[in-house]
Amino acid sequence: MTNLISTPIRLALVVLVIGASLASAQQDTLVGGGRGGGGGGQAAEPRPRPYQQVITSAAHSRDGLFKTHRIGARLLFEIPRGALNKELLLVTRLARTPLNAGFAGQQVGQRRVLRWERRDNRVLVRTISYETVGDTANPFHTAIQAGNFDPILASFNVEAYGPDSAAVVDVTRFYTAPVPEMGPGGQFTGNPDAARSFVETALAFPENVEVEAALTYSNTGGGGAGRGGAPAPAGRGGGGGATGTSSVQLHWSMVKLPEKPMMPRLADKRTGFFTLRQLDYTRPEQRAQERQYVVRWRLEKKDPNAAISEPIKPITYYVDPATPKWLVPWVKKGIEMWQPAFEAAGFRRGIVAKDAPTRAEDPDWAPEDARYSVVRWLPSTTENATGPNVHDPRTGEILESDIYMYHNVQSLARGWYFSQVGHLDPRVKMWPWPDSLIGQQVAWVVAHEVGHTLGLQHDQKGSSTYPIDSLRSRTWLKRMGHSPSIMDYSRNNYLVQPEDRVDLADLSPRIGPYDKYIIKWGYAPIPNAKTSDAEWATLDRWSKEQDATPWYRFNMSDSRGADPGDLNEAVGDADPVKATTWGLMSIKKIMPLLVPTFVRPGEDYDDLADQYRRMLGQWGNEMRHVANVVGGTESQEKYGGQTGPRYKTIEKDRQKQAVLFLRDNAFTTPTYLLRDDILRYIEPDGALPRINTAQTSVLNFLLNDRRLERVVEYAAMAGPEGAYSLGEMVDDVSGGIWNELRSPQVKIDAFRRELQRSYITTAGQKVNPPQPEANQGGGRGGGGGAGAPTGPARATSDVQAIFRADLRALDREIQAALPKTTDRDTRAHLEDARERIRKALEPGAGRGQPVLP
């Protein structure tokens, strides 16, 4: 699931010069060419007028951080002197959207820190960056400021001065013709039409100002871009971005940052928090030091001396009024599943769920208001949910967060549950599912996304730290769950078999021991520590608890996909071979349930086809888990003072066992997936390409060039007897895929022929690698290789030579096998295979020429 976390802000200099004259001596607020700035002439000198001439009796006014005045279509801010030069966080959200152009509640663009400041008779709006910082008492701080000049986002003529010299400025076009930094992003292009764009609402509160405006664009359609230029979520009938004339309603929250910044907590690679990064030039380390702080909420005890206390202000999430009523209790349950974790950090009811107030209770309440954290329910066919947050760029303090639950996340959860544990729960045969079943699935999805909004990253490592045999133990699962963290992509426990008699409630994810540990690490107060540095000794001691308690560990920061214990969609990845052995037992038991469950009178077969696709996906995931053992390394993030290496190469026997398992299971036709009672309901043909696609995906994943290069390196470091060599590995793979060649009578069926042709194609690509693409490089690995370096093997590696030798040897085997076949299809296949090998080895050779020895 996608995680959207704000980052330190770096802005290009964008000047919106404001001016020009209004009829009847009124001044327009857009000077020098209007929206976007950069007009040719010099702006006219502002001429403030008496307050009563500007704020007339027609004004509808409201007091708050800024006083807002609505006069007809105009919006004016009255900015008290005390509100100038304060740092305000600006969050832009979609409030209403055209079809296929995003969803209400979504953030667009980056969060901005603004500072409104007066310069003579103008008010400037600057954007503030905290990417580089330094001690203000250090003389070098002046150089830091000189190299980090705050851009001017907008300039307003002062229309009048109110009581206490409060500056009055017209901000209408600030919202109806927003500069790109405040606009709806690449989804809409060009300038809004002034005649069809207007301010809808403006609400002032003591700590924030909320403004909504309807903007109308013509000739839009930026290629389907959404938030920050990224593709908008799919769903609601497909399609890309808005085209033609479109109107969008934006909501801007401008919130005062805390007067007293929270003391930031230093980050630690051994723990799984999102981080705020700052480059500090005034540290004593004799270099510019990057400082990382965890992103977290501010929680303070009412009773600092109590072991467990109510917080002064709990973390509060509201449930979107648009949420289906029957799901509201389950959404609340998902939120408050985190309460035991906060108790471990010393807070009773540290996190609570509330219903949104009704219009009668609070007419000004809005889910877009950045003061409120809301679990939003969005009308989308997208099968997903996300949990972004908004945090103070000075300290990492989370100020607000929203969770986006796309309506069809229910379909995703249902698909996971059926394809993983459908053989254990008779309720899956009912339609619709009982509320208790789908509600439980929604609850843990909400809890997972809440974890992100608490500052937590995915913890894919945890599921590999439990003993494999315990994952079928009724008592272990009751006490510990099947993964130590709900932040793991470890969905439902597909290892369990009916004879294990595991309670159904213990099959799905829940808050685990890692979650309690990590919330304590991030949120527990550390008495007497007055600075971030003073906390470090305690934090380091807590991190070292991972040495004795494996399930407290977090993903390696730079494993590059090499750790088979750092997998997504995995249960029991401490031993992927054993786990997948049990997983295949489950798949074989679930397959006969598809037709009785998904074929219903009076309905089409779309659900059956969809679930069959999900079963193939589950099969492929489990096979890839096994492949990750090959060329793998066990890892644990460590800091100085902890014993042992961070990486430990997996033993030769385990790697070879994994390849032999794939030979016997992934590369042998999975006949249990080829059910005529399913296939002939959903398609006239397609079984061959479906199975070939699934097998080829596993094959290419196993033969990933980065994996092959690790195999070569590990063998080089260990010596010929101590490691699984690339030559031996390729022999095992090739020999298994082509094992019919050694039979007394050679006959190869159509499924195997497809796989064997795929093998020649893959091996040929190793011999004749494609040109490397630009911008390929290293990165974090996780989830079976995501983020790992990509591209072909290095020209100096053994990969090309080993596969060239294998194809030559394979050609000789095929030649020797041809006399042993009388089957016409097999003979044609083998002759064609030799021709394919010839083209792979000698791309320029003519037909019929022998393969060079």
CA distance 812 to 818: 10
Is a pLDDT exceeding 80 seen at residue 280?
Answer: no
Q: Which residue has the higher pLDDT, 748 or 45?
A: 748
Select the more confidently predicted residue: 368 or 424.
424
pLDDT(232) > 60? no
Percentage of residues in the chain with pLDDT exceeding 70? 85
Confidence of residue 847 (pLDDT cuts 50, 70, 90): low
Q: What is the mean pLDDT of residues 4-10?
A: 33
CB burial of 254-269 (b: ≥16 within 10 Å; e: otherwise) equals bbbbeeeebbbbbbbb
Q: What is the pLDDT of residues 644-658, one digit of tens each?
A: 999 999 999 999 999
- Name the nearest CA neighbour of 127 among 112, 108, 117: 112
Task: Please determine, for residue 428, whether its predicted confidence score (pLDDT) is greater than 70.
Answer: yes
Radius of gyration of the chain (CA): 31
**8 A C-beta contact, residue 360 and residue 471:** no
634 token code pair:
């066990």
Decide if pLDDT at 486 tops 90.
yes
Question: What secondary structure does DSSP assign to 801-831, as a single string?
Answer: HHHHHHHHHHHHHHHHHGGG---HHHHHHHH
- Judged by DSSP in three states, 218 sits in strand
783 with 566: CB under 8 angstroms?
Answer: yes
- Render 743-761 in DSSP notation, one character per residue: SSS----HHHHHHHHHHHH
Pairing of strands 167-170, 160-161: antiparallel
Per-residue pLDDT band for 139 (boundaries 50, 70, 90) equals low
Above 90 in pLDDT, residue 459? yes
381 touches 397 (CB < 8 A): no
Per-residue model confidence (pLDDT) at position 348? 98
Residues with Cβ within 8 Å of 403's Cβ and at least 6 positions away in sequence, in order, are 317, 374, 375, 376, 385, 386, 387, 446, 449, 450, 453
Q: In degrees rounded to 5, what are phi and psi of residue 280?
A: -105, 120
Q: Kindly report whether the peptide bond that precedes residue 432 is cis, defined as omega within 30 degrees of 0.
A: yes
Asked if residue 603 has pLDDT above 80, the reply is yes
Sequence-distant contacts of 582-585: CB under 8 A, at least 24 apart: 582/472, 582/494, 582/495, 582/497, 583/494, 583/495, 583/618, 583/622, 584/619, 584/622, 584/665, 585/497
User: How does DSSP classify residue 787?
Assistant: T
Strand duo 373-378 + 315-319: pairing? parallel
The domain spans of the chain are 23-257, 260-545
Could you tell me if 316 and 371 are in contact, meaning their C-beta atoms sit under 8 angstroms apart?
no
| Most confident option among 145-159, 184-198, 300-314 | 300-314
Question: Cβ distance 341 to 331 under 8 Å?
Answer: no
Question: What value does the mean pLDDT take over residues 417-434?
Answer: 94
The CA distance from 355 to 319, in Å, is 5
Place of tokens 């001016």: 19
Supply the pTM of this predicted model.
Answer: 0.86
Interval 367-393 mean pLDDT: 90
pLDDT at residue number 371? 85
Beta bridge partners of 125: 116, 154
Residue 582 has, within 13 A of its CA and on its CB side, a CA count of: 22
Return the SS3 of 732: helix
Structure tokens at 154: 């907008």
Residues, the chain, total? 853
CA distance 442 to 406: 11
Assign 810 a pLDDT band (cuts: 50, 70, 90).
very high
How far apart CA 705 and CA 244 sit, in angstroms, is 46
> Is 244's pLDDT higher than 80?
no
**Residues 6+ positions from 443 with CB-CB distance below 8 Å:** 330, 331, 333, 334, 337
| pLDDT tens by residue, 605-623 | 999 999 999 999 999 999 9
Backbone phi, psi, residue 127, to 5°: -100, 135
124: confidence class by pLDDT, cuts 50, 70, 90? very high
- Read off the tokens for 297: 């909420």
Mean pLDDT, to the nearest integer, of 562-583?
Answer: 95
Q: Rounded to 10 degrees, what is the CA torsion of 696, 700, 702, 703?
A: 140
Per-residue DSSP letter, 462: G
Model confidence band, residue 660 (pLDDT cutoffs 50, 70, 90): very high
Query: What is the predicted pLDDT for the residue at 417?
Result: 98
* Alpha carbon distance 624, 784 (integer Å): 7
CATH assignment of 260-545, among 1.10.1740, 3.30.300, 2.60.40, 3.40.390: 3.40.390
Question: What are the tens digits of pLDDT across the range 318-362?
Answer: 999 999 999 999 999 999 999 999 999 999 999 999 999 999 999
Specify the pLDDT at position 369. 85
Which two tokens mark 706? Answer: 């980065």
Structure tokens at 473: 């133990």
Q: Give the least confident one: 75-79, 308-312, 442-446, 714-718.
A: 714-718
Q: Which residue has the tokens 């593709």?
A: 231
Q: How confident is the model at residue 4 (pLDDT cuts 50, 70, 90)?
A: very low
As beta bridge partners, residue 113 has 89, 128
